[in-house]
């Protein structure tokens, strides 16, 4: 029997000033779920990176992008979805860190900090980044 | 959700002393970029950043730091960062930037 997770849905304007608001929101949710500080910091950065991508690739400032939090006993899943230009999924390559590019780190960081990451993107239709962090009781 | 930048040119050591307080993200990264452009224009010397009050940074801020470093490296100058919080150190480590910037302490 599968449990249904609690879902919180936010619709946010494509404006940089709101990314901090989302960080505070996800901090509150993760804290409430019992994540430790290190995991909360990971989640904060990962979510902000996804939101930054949504705002950067979103069509215009008057549009909104969507953040959905799925909360259940063992994990937090966050889905960030924009209506932007989209990209061919194959075009997101792992960055060559020795090249010192000023951009392109966002997806790499999300994948490094979160336990499970899924990116769905269609040219012209926008992008959804779904990421999961497990509570993972560390047995000592 | 805001960023404060304090800068001071240390004449003795011939180095810029910067203190960052608050958060660097897509909203405040532009402010940081402007600050770097100005100080590098004024004097192209190494930049030493006190990150004790830097609570948060992500790829937007890291990109600004990388951009500044590229310009400084043209003249063999560096960016040194010290008093870094653990979560930010972790990010520098993941991205390999801990080997690109000089990390102290």
Which of B25, B62, B100 has the CB atom closest to A105's CB atom? B62
Q: Structural domain tally of chain A?
A: 1
Structural domain harbouring A57: 6-134
- Write out pLDDT tens, residues A60-95: 778 899 999 999 999 999 999 987 665 544 455 566
> How big is the A-B interface in CB pairs under 8 Å?
67
Domain boundaries, chain B: 3-104
- Ramachandran sector of residue A81 (left: φ over 0; alpha: ψ -120 to 50; beta: rest): beta
Interface residue B1 vs chain A (CB under 8 A): yes
- Is position A85 within any domain? yes
- Is position A139 within any domain? no
- Position A125 pLDDT exceeds 90: no
Contact check, Cβ <8 Å, B1/A101 = no
- Write out pLDDT tens, residues B8-19: 999 999 999 999
Contact check, Cβ <8 Å, B95/A16 = no
CATH of the domain at A91: 3.30.565.10
How does the average pLDDT of chain B come out, rounded?
Answer: 96
pLDDT above 90 coverage of chain A, percent: 64
A10 forms bridges with which residues in the sheet?
Answer: A67
Two structure tokens written together for B77: 């100058």
Farthest CA pair distance, chain A: 50
**Which whole-number Å values give the CA distances from A68 to A38, A56, B72, B85, in the listed order?**
22, 19, 41, 29
A interface mutation test: which of B59, B64, B69, B90 has the most A CBs within 10 A?
Answer: B59
Confidence (pLDDT) at A7: 96
The reported pTM is 0.91
- Is position A59 within any domain? yes
CATH number for the domain formed by residue range(s) B3-104: 3.30.750.24
**Which residues 9-68 of chain B have a CB within 8 Å of chain A?**
23, 25-27, 56, 58-60, 62-64, 66-67
């Amino acid at each position: 029997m599968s449990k249904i997770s609690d879902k919180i849905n936010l619709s946010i304007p494509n404006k940089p000033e709101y990314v901090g608001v989302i960080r505070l929101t996800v901090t509150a949710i993760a804290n409430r779920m019992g994540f430790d500080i290190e995991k909360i910091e990971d989640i904060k950065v990962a979510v902000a990176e996804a939101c930054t991508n949504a705002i950067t690739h979103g069509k215009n400032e008057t549009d909104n992008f969507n953040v959905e939090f799925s909360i259940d006993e063992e994990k937090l899943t966050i889905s960030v979805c924009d209506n932007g230009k989209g990209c061919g999924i194959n075009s997101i390559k792992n960055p060559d860190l020795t090249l010192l590019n000023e951009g392109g780190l966002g997806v790499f960081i999300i994948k490094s900090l979160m336990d499970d990451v899924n990116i769905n993107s269609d040219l012209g239709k926008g992008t959804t980044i779904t990421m999961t962090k497990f509570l993972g009781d560390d047995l000592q | 959700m805001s960023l404060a930048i304090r800068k001071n040119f240390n004449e003795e050591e011939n180095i810029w002393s910067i203190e960052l307080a608050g958060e660097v993200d897509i909203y405040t990264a532009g402010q940081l970029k402007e600050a770097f452009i100005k100080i590098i224009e004024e004097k192209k010397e190494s930049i030493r950043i006190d990150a004790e009050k830097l609570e948060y940074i992500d790829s937007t801020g890291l990109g600004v730091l990388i951009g500044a470093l590229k310009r400084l490296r043209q003249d063999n100058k560096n960016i040194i960062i010290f008093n870094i919080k653990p979560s930010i150190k972790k990010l520098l480590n993941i991205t390999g930037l801990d080997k690109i910037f000089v990390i102290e302490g």
